[in-house]
Amino acid sequence: MLDSLDPISIALGVGIGLLLAVLVQANGGAAKVIPVNPSIEKDSPKVGHMVTITDMEDLMKSSGKDKVSYCRCWRSEKFPYCDGSHNKYNEKCKDNTGPLTIMKKE
């Protein structure tokens, strides 16, 4: 099979393979890790929040709204509550993340 390939194709294939190997090696041998959480409670080994139904109801009453939205993009200034930061993030990163919204049953 190799005798049916021209030498230029073989050289290009080998060259591209070497270039990729050099690029991967220059990057530490692995893809760059980008954390999901850029800034929230970074000193904690695990970020988690517990909210009771009463807490949600109180928040709804105090805000005058029949729903509460929780951030899932990790960029809200009001974390764990959504402040709409996902819109800017989605536009920049071509993502489609949005909040978890809990509504009162009508």
Query: Contact at 8 Å (CB) between 72 and 99?
Result: yes
Nearest to 72 by CA among 95, 56, 44, 106: 95
Catalytic residue from among 32, 42, 46, 94: 46
Q: Is 46 an active-site residue? A: yes
In the chain, what's the furthest Cα-to-Cα distance? 78
* Catalytic (active-site) positions: 46
